[in-house]
Structure 1
Amino acid sequence: MVNKQAVILTEVCPRDGFQSISEWIPTETKIDITNRLIDCGYKQIEVTSFVHPKAIPQLKDADELLKQVKRVKGVKFRALVPNVRGLERAIAVGVDKAKLMLSASDSHSLSNANCTTEEALQNFEPLIVRAKQSDIAISGSISVAFGCPYEGDIPVERLAMICERYRSFGITEVSLADTTGMANPTKIKRNVRALRELFPEITFSLHLHNTRGMAFANAVAGYEEGIIHFDSSAGGLGGCPYAPGASGNIASEDLIHGFGEMGIETNLSLDQVLEAAKYIQQLLPQAVDSFLLKAGKCSDLSASPKGQKKVEV
């Protein structure tokens, strides 16, 4: 068998998943779910976003959550930060990595951050200066990288321009997000191949939403183009509040199971992730969207029917 490179998953349910829920989730419940996910073997978890409480009320307890969630050696905490104020909060509670928030299109950026993409890039400069004065790492992201609900297709040249700016900031990790599930395997391959050729020093990851049922196919396409870093959310929770029709992330259990069936290692406990997803399903049944929670693993075989007579054809 050909040796296949293992993939590395970042669990984003505590941030992307929770932010999509309108009903308040008690801080204690968020901590409980996050702790269960930590036990699954993830090396990185996106725990929250340090946005203004009025922007995403569900995450107004970000500071308190970080103070109480358990810390495990070897598990890094990542959080989204929109500005210097958010960065200061992240530093104060010991976040390991701050992820910048940026949209590929001006329309989505104006809806999400109340500024154009270029203005957002300029606003990053003082944030990056402050980060370099601390121990926190910085990574970049590009929302609606494979299609904007307001503008349609995003030219790869636009993505390259943003990556060039990230490179000028000294950023070497960039997440490409299919925020509204507008990608397809051909588009994933085309854009990923172009960007990896232009920016070989940047580690790209994929953040895939399953809005149109294409997420796992897109993950495989990305893997075939050399992507080994992926975001996923237990139970398939997620969705951008500033993108019409955006549904959940690819479910962690679906991604782990799918790669595993292909002989691609994730170094995660599928059974523990499934238990965490089932627990989330009990608490938030209306928000869960997971194939494995519906159908089970391929290895979950049914008993053979007894006494069944052979039918002649």
Structure 2
Amino acid sequence: MIFPKEVEIIEVGPRDGLQNEPGTISTENKKELITSLVNSGIKRIETAAFVHPKWVPQMADSEEIAQFCNELGLEYIALTPNLRALERAILSKVPQIAVFIGASSAFNKKNINKETSESLIECEPMFKLAKENGMFIRAYVSMAFTCPYEGAVSFDEVKFVCDRFVQLGADEIDIGDTNGGANPKLVYERFSRLKDLYPDIPFVGHFHDSNHLALANVVAALQAGVTKFDSSIGGLGGCPYSPGATGNVATERLVNMLSQMDCETGINYEKLLKIAPFAKSLSTKV
């Protein structure tokens, strides 16, 4: 089996983990969470989403969060689903952006009311503008394994999105098990084929734990050569357009497993254990 010496963990809790919470989470609590995560040794964090507050009220303070992250000198990522969002991110001096498209057109339609092919066309001016401003581009392929609306998602559907992301110049491609329906066999086969097709592209594994297979899926992805993974402190997260999907793989559980396999992450597990209860408490505040 393959166990790399180093694995990069990208924390997505402050954005993906908190964005769907119904109760208002204060900006100060978000800053406290981010600071604690940085102090645990995490180097990259997805902290904000430049979306309209009408649709995602929890992300209404993204400009202030971005300014705070700039002051920390943090290598952070902000979600930019459209050109207007990207323009806001540029004004906020965000170093890394994330765009997302569903490999499943049915999911993409539910999520942003567009076919996958339509979304890919809309990405073109965004990639161009981001590159002109020297931004790192993370490209998410959502619902890359199974979909609650269409069932199994084919490899060709995933490849269709990845092909265009590569052509447009994505710096890394994040393959998302958005509804937590993947299994280790499927994960290994899918990442192996992607790595063969695009050997120079860094791939990231993004696993939700709906079926309690997230850690097993990480191990399967490791065997396919993936060394970058998203996780969320306390296992927070979910997707409003994926019925039944639970949170992301918990950062503390992932770091603990990797540590036991002698995969270095540079993250302090004991500190994560102290942060997790605070993170979970934010998800219940109203």
> Shorter-normalised TM-score: what interval?
over 0.9
Deviates more, 1:145-154 or 1:133-142: 133-142
Q: Distance in 2 between matches of 1:285 and 1:265?
A: 32
- Matching residue of 1:13: 13
Q: Distance in 2 between matches of 1:282 and 1:51?
A: 24
- Shift of the 66–190 alpha-carbon distance from structure 1 to 2, 3 Å rule, reads same
Q: Distance in 2 between matches of 1:37 and 1:76?
A: 12
- Matching residue of 1:202: 201
Superposed, which structure 2 residues align to 1:24-173 within 5 Å? 24-69=24-69, 71-73=71-73, 75-173=74-172
Q: Distance in 2 between matches of 1:119 and 1:70?
A: 33
CA positional deviation for 1:269: 0.7
CA-to-partner distance for each residue in 1:273-312, whole Å, 9 max, x for gaps? 11111222344359xxxxxxxxxxxxxxxxxxxxxxxxxx
Superposed, which structure 2 residues align to 1:160-309 within 5 Å? 160-284=159-283
Secondary structure of the corresponding residue to residue 175 of structure 2: strand
The code of the aligned residue for 2:166 comes to R
CA positional deviation for 1:123: 0.3
Secondary structure of the corresponding residue to residue 52 of structure 2: coil
Tell me if the contact between 1:172 and 1:201 (Cα under 8 Å) persists in the aligned partners.
no
Q: Root-mean-square deviation (CA), in Å?
A: 1.5
CA-to-partner distance for each residue in 1:243-283, whole Å, 9 max, x for gaps? 11111000000000011111211111111111111222344
- Shift of the 70–79 alpha-carbon distance from structure 1 to 2, 3 Å rule, reads closer
CA-to-partner distance for each residue in 1:170-214, whole Å, 9 max, x for gaps? 113100000010000000011000111011111111011001100
The code of the aligned residue for 2:158 comes to L
- Shift of the 235–5 alpha-carbon distance from structure 1 to 2, 3 Å rule, reads same
TM-score (norm 2): 0.95
The code of the aligned residue for 2:29 comes to T
The code of the aligned residue for 2:23 comes to E
Secondary structure of the corresponding residue to residue 102 of structure 2: coil
Q: Distance in 2 between matches of 1:48 and 1:59?
A: 6
CA positional deviation for 1:68: 2.9
CA-to-partner distance for each residue in 1:32-64, whole Å, 9 max, x for gaps? 111111111112100011111122111111112
Secondary structure of the corresponding residue to residue 151 of structure 2: coil
Structure 1 or 2, whichever has the larger Rg, is 1
CA positional deviation for 1:70: 6.3
CA-to-partner distance for each residue in 1:72-104, whole Å, 9 max, x for gaps? 44x311011111111111111121111111111
Q: Percent identity?
A: 37
Which consecutive residues of structure 2, in runs of 5 or more, have no partner in the other structure?
A: none
Tell me if the contact between 1:78 and 1:96 (Cα under 8 Å) persists in the aligned partners.
yes
